[in-house]
Amino acid sequence: MAFVSGNFNVVHPGHLRLLKFAAEAGEFLVVGVNPDSTPGVAVPLALRLEGIQSLGIVDYAFALREPPECFIAELKPDIVVKGREHAERHNPELAAVEAYGGRLLFSSGEVRFASLDLLQREYTSGPFWTLIKPKDFPRRHGFTIEGLKAVLPHMRGIRVLVVGDLIVDTYIDCDALGMSQEDPTIVVTPIDHKTFVGGAAIVAAHARGLGAEVRYITVAGRDDQAGFARSALARHGVATEFLVDETRPTTHKQRYRAAGKTLLRVNHLRQHAIDADIRSQVLDRIEQALPHTDLLLFSDFNYGCLPQPLVDAVVELASERGIMMAADSQASSQLSDISRFRGMTLITPTEREARLALRDFESGLTVLANRLRAACGARNVVVTLGADGMLVHAPNGSDGALMDDRLPAFNTAPKDPAGAGDSLFTATALALAAGADIWRASYIGALAAACQVGRVGNLPVTAADIEAEIDADTA
């Protein structure tokens, strides 16, 4: 165990180097943050402690209420680390460490050129000054951007059931050291990491952030990633039911990033379908939840959690109860078929996913959306187009005549596009369940996606995020 203490008014790269050295010197890093009465403190304790607790390399951080040497005598860490500038000074910690046979080390760590402050800001939201919200789309469909605020309160309390693949995402921030001299390989060193829930789990967290009451049913491994996901979803306020599949690990995706760009993704997963016994257990849990469900969201990443017999059985049960359903079936490094989800109120495929479902790689977008709608009996089809926004294909007005309209991407400088589809799908479906038409719902979905891609990593979009963006437009 290693111990470090300090004021930590602003966590700068020097602190990061020191803490990284301490973390590598011991198996468990404990950090004590000095009280506000300590000379040199300029920032309130709560803020300083929060800054240290947010670091992935710190295992435990706390408010230090006594002199460091007194705490060291009680904790007896193997190693106490101080900055190199203290090496020639009097150190009260030395006597305490020597009394039980520990070591006092002085180091400022290796020089790094990444600013932790900049890294931390990547993971936070806005202000989204890069968002451009089109005014012509609302005019064509008879609403105002400000008027969308009236939809948000109706999302609160909607009972949502999310079913689909659990993913845990880890973002590993690195310093790029250069090119290897032995072979043409980029060399990096990790300096920090952050872990988030992903897949259907972030869909559940988005729904909860937007005010819904959310239950999430999934299949997971018996591992640390599943434990992390349970804890994270509990913090987000999502009720979870994890059925353990001993034949697979919880899907874990690692993204190695440097200078704001993803260099490499490593996926730890199995893609085989769940067996009949687990499928029966999942169906039983879903059947028990349906009487308390207003909106059912299928979030399919095609890793085996939603085999076709399970999907068909759930759709039949939900249809009998008149429950609104929406589906998203993703194909990034894997194949998907959104058309296997029949009778949905909403589907939100990418253009590639729509073409894969129909085996159609030539038709224009309007023809493609119309064919897909007919193939799976969906009421509303939103084809997402990445940086080019989306195409909305849906009935318009009381006569039910089909209409197409385009929305551009609102965020002109996205930091991380990975979570755009999940946030758009969740917000659009929830707005439909709240009584909005598809045009208002898709605009709210576009706002949610723009907020989501304005930060790095999967954090739930909230109703407050969307309301703040609407207010910024009308201020």
Question: Same domain, yes or no, for 106 and 125?
Answer: no
Find the helix or strand (DSSP H, E) in which 172 lies: strand 166-179
Residue 86 φ then ψ, to 5°: -90, -5
Assign 130 a pLDDT band (cuts: 50, 70, 90). Answer: low
Q: What is the pLDDT of residues 148-198, one digit of tens each?
A: 999 999 999 999 999 999 999 999 988 877 777 778 788 888 878 889 999
Distance of CA 9 to the CA centre of its chain: 28
235, 201 in Cβ contact below 8 A?
no
Find, among 164, 244, 145, the residue nearest to 204 by Cα. Answer: 164
Domain membership of residue 267 (yes or no) is no
Does the pLDDT value for residue 137 go beyond 90? yes
Question: Same domain, yes or no, for 365 and 224?
Answer: yes
Question: Same domain, yes or no, for 87 and 212?
Answer: no
Domain membership of residue 42 (yes or no) is yes
pLDDT of residue 320: 97
> Max CA-CA distance within the chain?
85
Domain membership of residue 56 (yes or no) is yes
DSSP string across 121-152:
HHTS----TTB---SHHHHHTT--TGGGGGTH
Final residue before a domain boundary, out of 93, 112, 131: 112
* Sheet bearing 186-199, strands edge to edge: 186-199, 166-179, 251-258, 261-268
Identity of residue 155: M
Does the pLDDT value for residue 110 go beyond 80? no
Question: Same domain, yes or no, for 245 and 315?
Answer: yes
Domain membership of residue 179 (yes or no) is no
CA–CA distance, 262 with 334 (Å, rounded to integer): 19
Question: Same domain, yes or no, for 371 and 451?
Answer: yes
CA–CA distance, 138 with 148 (Å, rounded to integer): 10
Which CATH number is 58's domain given?
A: 3.40.50.620
Question: Same domain, yes or no, for 15 and 145?
Answer: no
- Residues making up the chain, counted from first to last: 475
Percent of the chain with pLDDT over 70: 93
- Report the b/e string of 165-199 with b at 16+ CB within 10 A: bbbbbbbbbbbeeeeeeeeeeeebeebbbbbbbbb
Assign 228 a pLDDT band (cuts: 50, 70, 90). Answer: very high
Domain membership of residue 269 (yes or no) is no
The arithmetic mean of pLDDT across residues 29-46, rounded, is 90
152 by Cβ neighbours in 10 Å (0-12 / 13-18 / 19+) ranks as buried
The arithmetic mean of pLDDT across residues 86-104, rounded, is 90
Domain membership of residue 361 (yes or no) is yes
Lowest mean pLDDT of 77-81, 113-117, 222-226, name the range.
113-117
* Sheet bearing 2-6, strands edge to edge: 60-63, 29-33, 2-6, 79-82, 103-106
> Cα–Cα distances in Å, from 42 out to 47, 63, 238, 323?
11, 15, 38, 55
Place of tokens 């920032």: 43
Assign 125 a pLDDT band (cuts: 50, 70, 90). Answer: low
- DSSP three-state, residue 286: helix
Domain membership of residue 261 (yes or no) is no
Question: Same domain, yes or no, for 318 and 443?
Answer: yes
410, 465 in Cβ contact below 8 A?
no
Question: Same domain, yes or no, for 286 and 421?
Answer: yes
> Cα–Cα distances in Å, from 417 out to 85, 413, 425?
43, 10, 14
More confident site: 335 or 462? 462
Percent of the chain with pLDDT over 90: 64
257: number of CA atoms within 13 Å, CB side? 23
Range(s) of the domain holding residue 304: 119-171+192-252+280-474
pLDDT of residue 16: 80
pLDDT of residue 421: 92
Question: Same domain, yes or no, for 208 and 350?
Answer: yes
Q: What is the pLDDT of residues 376-423, one digit of tens each?
A: 999 999 999 988 899 999 998 777 789 999 999 998 878 888 889 999
Find the helix or strand (DSSP H, E) in which 24 lies: helix 13-25
Question: Same domain, yes or no, for 161 and 216?
Answer: yes
Question: Same domain, yes or no, for 217 and 236?
Answer: yes
Lowest mean pLDDT of 50-59, 317-326, 444-453, name the range.
50-59
Q: Name residues whose C-beta falls within 8 Å of residue 306's C-beta, 6 or more positions apart in sequence.
A: 163, 164, 165, 298, 300
Question: Same domain, yes or no, for 81 and 8?
Answer: yes
Retrieve residue 30's tokens.
């404990």
Does the pLDDT value for residue 332 go beyond 70? no
Retrieve residue 157's tokens.
């309390």
Final residue before a domain boundary, out of 91, 112, 133: 112
pLDDT of residue 242: 97
Assign 312 a pLDDT band (cuts: 50, 70, 90). Answer: very high
Which CATH number is 351's domain given?
A: 3.40.1190.20
More confident site: 462 or 55? 462
Q: Beta partners for 218?
A: 242
Distance of CA 300 to the CA centre of its chain: 16
Place of tokens 């005549």: 401
Q: Beta partners for 327?
A: 298, 347
Domain membership of residue 309 (yes or no) is yes
Find, among 163, 199, 157, 202, the residue nearest to 289 by Cα. Answer: 163
pLDDT of residue 128: 47
Averaged pLDDT score across all residues of the chain:
89
Find, among 277, 303, 340, 305, the residue nearest to 216 by Cα. Answer: 305
Report the domain count for the chain: 2
pLDDT of residue 126: 52
CA–CA distance, 271 with 167 (Å, rounded to integer): 12
Q: Beta partners for 196?
A: 169
Final residue before a domain boundary, out of 92, 112, 132: 112
pLDDT of residue 84: 82
